[in-house]
């Protein structure tokens, strides 16, 4: 850790404060009675309200003017101007609290607590006249100073912005302090999840928790993270999905269950993928995928209304409308529409020829399902900007899905496409244990061919199905991607507080 001149100075200030008998990190409770934004929105001079207030937050600017100074305090709600007078905070002969501590030992970024009363300055700015001031936490590293100005045309211009993506994602704690608009994204993320939770609770479904550490990584086709349980001396896996555990609960007698789950997939990172991500999965008995389409669009429409007050959401250059009903088209019809090729009934060799014709790279380990998935992903997916349900997938792509009631070789499945990406995935759930065992065994054949994303056989899940699972529909929706859309962010890293990053380069330690 190489210390800058300012970092060294702040450490010396810390020592000097302690020598003066001032604890830079006191333990005592500081009772906050008001927030900056609350005061600015509700203060009325004619009412003479807010005459005894207590606030706490970071010191973000100072204008020293002899015996009195103006400064700016930022709490969790926003910023407010404060007025600090020497004779108010340091009455009597000992003026050190103002002359030495406030003027010379406090820095931008320090946490302070203040008590006082609200007034309006001569220029009309609502401010707090400070009568008591206390240092609550000394900041030893300087915050980046983001400057704003107004140009000749009246436009706000930002200088020295803390905008480098790697620094912002790696030091999110700084990003949140100096880029206040970032906080709004994460407030909306919480509101989004609460909107979904309220919707599901109103339906009478039960929110549950299922294991993150699993003996078998089931419920999806993905490469897992592997760890080791020392006491049991067995390998364990971070879950790639929670589907099989939630369906066990349907076997146990619950009619509707859902979970906001952290899932983990040991795969690449890009603009829309992070190894650790959040999904919401819901399973409801005696329903099918058609019913689940209706429920999904109702829930997402509600999210848009709760966050924006309207169904139309701006995402980059696209205006996306979540008003029901959403468009619906089968996967094979989508491929035919965008490639001119009808792949109905094609075998693996014919599909490889189609991929070659369309210049789509393939691997020898790919079976029919993967080949069709590649065709759709390369040639179709990006066309679906407005919410669209892609329905009726080939059975090879969906080992946990019930076979289609009327279309041979297909299953009752849909994926919801929004802004050119998959947002949700749902099925009429497979509840025939004999068929399910055969599907798992086919996955083992794919694994033998080299498909490292093929599913494991989960014998306990098969045993659960043999006890009997009622017909059901299930759906999983990517919370991170939904948040990207609802907050108009183009990278998953912008909607994760702490996205996965490459290891930080270490700086050689030097002595002070």
Check residue 221 and give its pLDDT.
80
User: Structure tokens of 176?
Assistant: 């949140």
Q: Where in the chain is the domain with CATH 3.30.930.10?
A: 181-326+454-495
Q: How far apart are CA 321 and CA 479, in angstroms?
A: 18
- Strand 53-65, strand 312-315: pairing: unpaired
DSSP 8-state assignment for residue 50: -
Q: Where in the chain is the domain with CATH 2.40.50.140?
A: 5-137
Run of H or E including 135: strand 126-137
Q: How far apart are CA 410 and CA 391, in angstroms?
A: 10
Q: How far apart are CA 140 and CA 12, in angstroms?
A: 10
Would you list the DSSP string of 55-99?
EEEEEEEEEEETTEEEEEEE-SS-EEEEEEEHHHHS-SS--HIII
Q: Which residues pair with 381 in a beta bridge?
A: none
Q: Which residues contact 181 (CB under 8 A, 6 or more apart)?
A: none
User: Structure tokens of 384?
Assistant: 């679906």
Q: Which phi and psi (to 5°) does residue 441 adopt? A: -65, -35
Tens digits of per-residue pLDDT, 232-257? 999 999 999 999 999 999 999 999 99
Check residue 461 and give its pLDDT.
95
Tens digits of per-residue pLDDT, 338-386? 999 999 999 999 999 999 999 999 999 888 988 999 999 999 999 999 9
State the SS3 of 294-316.
Answer: HHHHHHHHHHHHHHHCCCEEEEC
Classify 5-137 by CATH class. Answer: mainly beta
Q: Please say whether the structural domain 181-326+454-495 has been given the CATH code 3.30.930.10.
A: yes
Q: How far apart are CA 39 and CA 125, in angstroms?
A: 12
Mean pLDDT, contiguous 10-residue spans, the chain (512 residues):
92 97 96 98 95 98 93 97 95 87 96 98 96 97 80 70 90 94 96 98 98 92 93 96 97 98 93 94 98 98 98 97 98 97 94 96 90 96 97 91 94 97 97 94 81 82 97 98 97 95 69 46
Which of helix, strand or coil describes residue 349?
Answer: helix
Check residue 431 and give its pLDDT.
97
Mean pLDDT of the chain: 93
The binding site comprises 415, 422
Phi/psi region, residue 414 (left: phi>0; alpha: psi -120 to 50; beta: rest), is: beta
- The closest alpha carbon to 114, from 138, 82, 69, 140, belongs to 82
Check residue 149 and give its pLDDT.
67
Alpha-carbon dihedral angle through residues 435, 436, 441, 446, given to the nearest 10 degrees: 110
pTM tops 0.85: yes
The binding site for Mg(2+) comprises 415, 422
How many angstroms from the chain centroid is the CA of residue 172? 13
């Amino acid at each position: 850790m190489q210390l800058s001149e300012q970092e060294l100075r702040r450490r010396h200030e810390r020592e000097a404060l302690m020598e003066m008998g001032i604890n830079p990190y006191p333990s005592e409770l500081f009772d906050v009675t008001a927030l900056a934004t609350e005061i600015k929105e509700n203060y009325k001079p004619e009412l003479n309200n807010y005459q005894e207030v207590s606030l706490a937050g970071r010191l973000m600017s100072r204008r020293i003017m002899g015996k009195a100074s103006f400064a700016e305090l930022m709490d969790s709600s926003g910023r407010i101007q404060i007025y600090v007078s020497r004779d108010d905070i340091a009455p009597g002969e000992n003026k050190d609290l103002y002359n030495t501590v406030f003027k010379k030992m406090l820095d931008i970024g320090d946490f302070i607590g203040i008590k006082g009363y609200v007034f309006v300055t001569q220029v009309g700015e609502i401010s707090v006249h400070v009568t008591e001031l206390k240092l609550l936490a000394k900041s030893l590293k300087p915050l980046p100073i983001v400057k704003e100005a107004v140009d000749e045309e009246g436009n706000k211009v930002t200088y020295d912005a803390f905008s480098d993506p790697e620094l912002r994602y790696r030091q999110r704690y700084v990003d949140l302090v100096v880029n206040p608009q970032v906080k709004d994204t994460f407030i909306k993320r919480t509101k989004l999840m609460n909107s979904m939770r309220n919707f599901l609770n109103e339906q009478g479904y039960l929110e549950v928790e299922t294991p993150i550490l699993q003996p078998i990584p089931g419920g999806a086709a993905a490469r897992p993270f592997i760890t080791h349980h020392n006491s049991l001396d067995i390998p364990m896996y971070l879950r790639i999905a929670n589907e099989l555990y939630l369906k066990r609960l349907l076997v146990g007698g619950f009619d509707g269950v859902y979970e906001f789950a952290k899932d983990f997939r040991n795969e690449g990172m890009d603009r829309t993928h992070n190894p650790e991500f959040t999904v919401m999965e819901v399973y409801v008995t005696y329903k099918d995928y058609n019913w689940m389409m209706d429920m999904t669009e109702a829930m997402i429409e509600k999210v848009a209304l709760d966050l924006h007050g309207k169904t139309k959401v701006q995402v980059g250059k696209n205006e996306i409308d979540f008003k029901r009903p959403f468009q619906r088209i089968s996967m094979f019809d989508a491929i035919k529409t965008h490639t001119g090729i009808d792949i109905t009934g094609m075998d693996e060799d014919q599909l490889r020829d189609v991929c070659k014709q369309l210049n789509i790279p393939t691997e020898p380990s790919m079976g029919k399902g993967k080949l069709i998935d590649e065709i759709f992903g390369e040639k179709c997916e990006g066309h679906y900007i407005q919410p669209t349900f892609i329905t009726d997938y080939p059975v090879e792509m969906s080992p946990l899905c019930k076979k289609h009631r009327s279309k041979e070789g297909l299953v009752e499945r849909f994926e919801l496409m929004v802004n050119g990406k998959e947002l949700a995935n749902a099925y009429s759930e497979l509840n025939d244990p004999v068929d399910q065992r055969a599907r798992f065994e086919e996955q083992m054949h794919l694994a033998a061919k080299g498909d490292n994303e093929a599913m494991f056989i989960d014998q306990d899940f098969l045993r659960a199905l043999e006890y009997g699972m009622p017909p059901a529909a299930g759906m999983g929706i990517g919370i991170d991607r939904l948040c990207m859309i609802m907050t108009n962010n183009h990278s998953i890293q912008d909607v994760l507080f702490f996205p996965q990053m490459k290891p930080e380069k270490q700086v050689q330690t030097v002595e002070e």
